[in-house]
Amino acid sequence: MKEWVIETKGLSKRYKGRYAVSNLNLKIEKGDIYGFLGPNGAGKTTTIRMLLGLIKPSNGSVHIFGQPLNKEKLSILRRVGSLVEYPSYYGHLSATDNLEAIRRILGAPAARITEVLDIVGLSKEARRPVKGFSLGMKQRLGIASALLGSPELLLLDEPTNGLDPSGILEIRELIKQMPKQHGITVLISSHLLSEVELTAGTVGIIRQGELVFQDTIAHLHQQAQGSMSLIVSEPEQALATLLQQGIAAKKSGDALLFANIGDHAVARIVKSLVEHDHAIYRVEEMRKSLEELFLQIVGEVKPS
């Protein structure tokens, strides 16, 4: 039995008859980094807001650390750090005072402020009012606030928004360290697969409010495995020849397509076609990139 840090059952949110999130069954394992993917407006932020109790679900339930969120909200939230949508800040306060306002509520030790500022690389800017910060710096401050209470679960909604490439890399490394060093479970949402591809162990893909994929990143890689394409002189006869030998293929134009076949199978196909006097012009591997597969899953590109 795995230990689920987040488990939702039939989670739905309806706005004026339209489902923003419908029947979501998320399962997030302890110590995992969960990439929560979907295009803009798919319901990622709505889901995260429900996970944090900012909005009430229309249907379904949320369990965090095995406890029901609607009953144990405060004790759950004490163990969760979050960054929702754009970062929150008080413009008239310095970075230190922003964190101090949160620290007073959490009752965390004062030394923790210096620690988190150091982690996100804001130590030098700590005394400046936050209204003069760039979006990337506010984002870092948001991450620092999320870390302030030494949480066991981090919910980060598009945490690299507005960061420059080196900042993205830095934050990605930081997130990677979380489970290893502190045993923290992380949920990180993004509209880019490449964003979480290198960090996440599991991905959930949401499309128009529905979860359309939830599995390990390794399984996603497997699905993205390419197919073989053979271009031959007489594709129709070749297809018939192969069918006689019990090899399934699909004809597309002049090419024959074979899905998910190994090296030996390729060799056998080529050999038998040559023996039947077919001319083989090309043997190509058609590799689908993970990004293409993702776009296909979220329905922005029609499957070919």
Partner 1 sequence: MASFFRLIAAERLKLSKSYIWVLALVSPLLSLAIGILVSPDKFGMTNDQEKYALLVSSMASFHAMLFLPILTGILSAFVCRYEHVGGGWKQLLTLPVSRSGLYFAKFSIVASVLALTQLLFLAAVCAAAAYHGYAVSLPWETMLTGIGSGWLACLPLAALQLLVSVSWSSFAAPLVINVMLTIPNILVVNSERFAPFYPWAQPMLAMLSFSGEDFGAFALPLENVLITVLGSFVLFLAAGLLYFNRKEV
Does residue 116 interact with partner 1 by CB under 8 A?
A: no
> Cβ of residue 78: shortest distance to partner 1, in angstroms?
4
At its nearest, how many Å lie between partner 1 and the CB of residue 17? 16
Stretch that binds partner 1, among 79-87, 188-196, 206-214, 290-298 (CB under 8 A): 79-87
- The one among 36, 89, 213, 258 contacting partner 1 by CB under 8 A: 89
Sign of CA dihedral 253, 254, 258, 259: negative
b (16+ CB within 10 A) / e for 86-109 = ebebeeeeebbbbbeebbeebebe
In the chain the first and final C-alpha atoms are separated, in Å, by 39
Q: Which stretch binds partner 1 (CB under 8 A): 69-77, 244-252, 255-263, 296-304?
A: 69-77
How far, in Å, CA of 294 to CA of 197, rounded?
Answer: 11
Tell me which residues in 128-167 interact with partner 1 (CB under 8 A): 130, 145, 149
Q: What minimum distance in Å lies between the beta carbon of 80 and partner 1?
A: 7
Residues 243-302 that bind partner 1 (CB under 8 A): none
Q: What are phi and psi of 59, to 5 degrees?
A: -145, 165
Q: Which of 18, 25, 41, 78 binds partner 1 (CB under 8 A)?
A: 78
* Cβ 81 vs Cβ 149: under 8 Å: yes
C-alpha 110, offset from chain centre: 33
Q: How far apart are CA 58 and CA 41, in angstroms?
A: 18
Considering only residues 82, 139, 190, 202, which one is a binding residue for partner 1 as defined by CB under 8 A? Answer: 82
Q: List residues binding partner 1 (CB under 8 A).
A: 49, 52-56, 74-75, 77-78, 80, 82, 84-93, 97, 100-102, 104-107, 130, 145, 149
